[in-house]
Each structure stands twice: as C-alpha cells, then as structure tokens.
Amino acid sequence: MTGKVIALSGGVGGAKLALGLSKILAPDELTIIANTGDDFEHLGLHISPDIDTLIYTLASLANPAQGWGLKDESWHFMEALKAADGETWFQLGDKDLVTHVLRTKAMREGKTLTEITYDLCLRYGVSHKILPMSDDPVRTRVITAEGPLDFQHYFVRERCAPKTTGFEFTGIKEAELNPAIEQALTDTDLSAIIICPSNPFVSVDPILMTGNMRALIKASGAPVIAISPIVGGQALKGPAAKMMQELGLPTNVSGIADHYEGLIDGLIIDETDRASLQALQARPFKVLVTNTIMNSLEDRIALAAATLSFAKSVQSSV
Ligand code: FO1
C-alpha cells in the first residue's frame, strides 16, 4: 500500500490488528489512535488500559492469555495489597505498575498524555505512533439497570454483569481532539482509515465523538474500513454482543453495519457470517468476507494485509 494509514483502536481485539498492521507498514506509515475513555484513577495512579495494551502488544510483551498486562509478570504488590486489605479487584502486576507510576509522575509534572505515551513507546521499543484520542480527560460510564458505573467498575469489578441501558462519556464535549490526529487526518498522503475490531460503543465511539473527528474523517476522502467485532452473533472478546442484545439491537453483523453506516466505505466480516453477505450488499458500502479471527501472529498479519488491499480496491472504485 502506498500512503499513510490511520487505525482506530480500543484494547485487546483492536491491538491484535494494530500489531498485524505494524508488521506490514513502516513507522511513518501507520498512526494508531487509542481510546482513552477506559482511563481511570486507581490507587492514586493514572491507568490508560488501551494505550498500555497497544504498547505491550506492539512490543510483543503482552500477556498472551489475557491480551492485557505484561507476560512473565509477578504479583508481589497485589499479594501485599491483599494482606493490607487494599482494593484488589483490578489486577496490577509488578512490572506493569512501573508504567502507571511513570505516567502518573509525568502527568503531575505537567506532561501531556501524548508526550508520556511517546516516552513509554520509546522505553518499550515501539516505533509506530500511538496517539491518545485527546490529552483532556474523557471517562466512559456505562448506564446500567443498577445506575451508572465507571467503565472499569462495570468491566472488571462487576464483570459486565449489570444490564446496559446506555453510555455517557464525561468530558467529551470539552475534550479537544489530539492535534497530532488532526495533522494525520489532513495528510494529503492518507490512504486508509481502519476501524479495528474493537467494541463500537465503548472503544470506537469515544474516539469518533472527540472534537471534530467525524468531520475530519469525512473531509479526508480516505476510504474508511471497519472490521466487525461480532462473529457468528458473538463478540470475540468483551461485552459488545451482550450490550447490543441489552440495547435491543440486532446482535450480528447487520447491527455493526447499522452502527457504522454513513461513516464507512467498507465492512469486513468473518467467513462464519458469509450468509449475511447478500443482505449487506444493499448497503452503501462494500463488504469483504475473510477470516477475521486472529489467534496467531500470521492471522493478524493476514487480516492486516487483506484490510489494506480491500481499502485500496474500495478507494479505486470511488
Ligand atoms: N482487565 C481485567 O479483566 N481484569 C483486570 O484486573 C485488569 C487489569 C488491568 C491492568 C492494567 C491494564 O492496562 C489493563 C487491565 N485490564 C484488566 C484490561 C482492561 O480493563 C480492559 O481490557 C480494557 O479497559 C478494555 O479495553
């Protein structure tokens, strides 16, 4: 692919595709935009789970079983915290803790999240650009039948059990889009915008809702390609399918198509959902059916390559 590529990503699922893209594209050809709505303050530390998942994944340091946190981790801090009757519902490994301590210290010294993310990328040897959607705080809250819950309280502490009735993104109206994102979106060499297979409601929407992100995407003229995070009516990871069901939306690829219609030029669905292809062909975007399940590194690279060539074919037919 010639030209530059932007990928919008949440945590684990999105990071898998971002890794595949990073194996094909040079550092100056790929910009990854990270959701920061999952960020929170915990035990006095600023935690940015999606940024860290992206850094650790691209550095090949992520815990392969969880997808988040570091591999070969030790848990002495959590054991000591438990013995001290501290809050242990959110697991912070000893090595991972260093990232949160460094970020929190740098924030207190007045550095922006963008600068801190750049420094962390250098520290972990990640040369592709990871940009937080904003340097201003945005906090996702899941509105549930039991009341609103901060995202990590809903996701980790309550294990996504409460019924979802909606979402709110505290600070989103005031948050300024990261200026480096605006620069990337107005680059005349931009050739594709990829929406990774992340949760559309709590990972991708906060990015799309920040500042003039949607208008900049439209104005860029670059093909926008989304990869469905729903395969065979199930989310590969996380609560996307449960949320769709509880919100009364179709829990399948057509629900994803509804969500992104008007924004995307192409949708990639898994082979499992091939039967949905005919119905989707009536939509105002192109559809590619391929394997989207990314178990191995080869799967991630193959989906990244298929996404880039699909973007190219979508662009040339516009
Ligand atoms: N996810 C969990 O399910 N349980 C945890 O205890 C947990 C700890 C954690 C610590 C650091 C970090 O960067 C991520 C962590 N995650 C944990 C993942 C995170 O909550 C979610 O994957 C994302 O917010 C959703 O994209």
- Asked, for residue 209, whether it belongs to a domain, the answer is yes
- Asked, for residue 55, whether it belongs to a domain, the answer is yes
Domain that holds residue 222: 4-143+168-317
Place of tokens 């039967």: 275
Identify the CATH number of the domain in which residue 86 sits: 3.40.50.10680
- Asked, for residue 159, whether it belongs to a domain, the answer is no
**33-87 tens-digit pLDDT:** 999 999 999 999 999 999 999 999 999 999 999 999 999 999 999 999 999 999 9
Calculate how far, in angstroms, residue 68's C-alpha sits from the geometric centre of ligand 1: 6
Q: Whole-angstrom distance between the N-terminal and C-terminal Cα of the chain?
A: 17
- Asked, for residue 178, whether it belongs to a domain, the answer is yes
Mean pLDDT of all residues in 130-152: 97
- Asked, for residue 158, whether it belongs to a domain, the answer is no
- Asked, for residue 153, whether it belongs to a domain, the answer is no
Q: Whose CA is nearest to atom 16 of ligand 1?
A: 68
Whether the CA torsion 40, 44, 49, 51 is positive or negative: it is positive
Q: Which residue of 68, 101, 243 sits with most ligand 1 atoms within 8 Å of its CB, as the best mutation to test the pocket?
A: 68
Name the residue among 206, 178, 190 with its Cα closest to residue 118: 178
Residues near ligand 1 (Cβ within 6 A) = 10-12, 38, 47, 49-50, 52-53, 68-69, 90-92, 96, 152, 155-156
Burial letters for 168-200: b for 16+ Cβ neighbours within 10 Å, e otherwise?
ebebbeebebbebbeebbeeeebbbbbbbbbbb
- Asked, for residue 161, whether it belongs to a domain, the answer is no
How high does pLDDT run on average in the chain? 97
- Asked, for residue 114, whether it belongs to a domain, the answer is yes
Q: Which residue of 139, 156, 236 sits with most ligand 1 atoms within 8 Å of its CB, as the best mutation to test the pocket?
A: 156
Parallel/antiparallel/unpaired status of strands 4-9 and 30-34? parallel
Report the number of distinct structural domains present in the chain.
1
Q: Whose CA is nearest to atom 14 of ligand 1?
A: 49
**184-235 tens-digit pLDDT:** 999 999 999 999 999 999 999 999 999 999 999 999 999 999 999 999 999 9
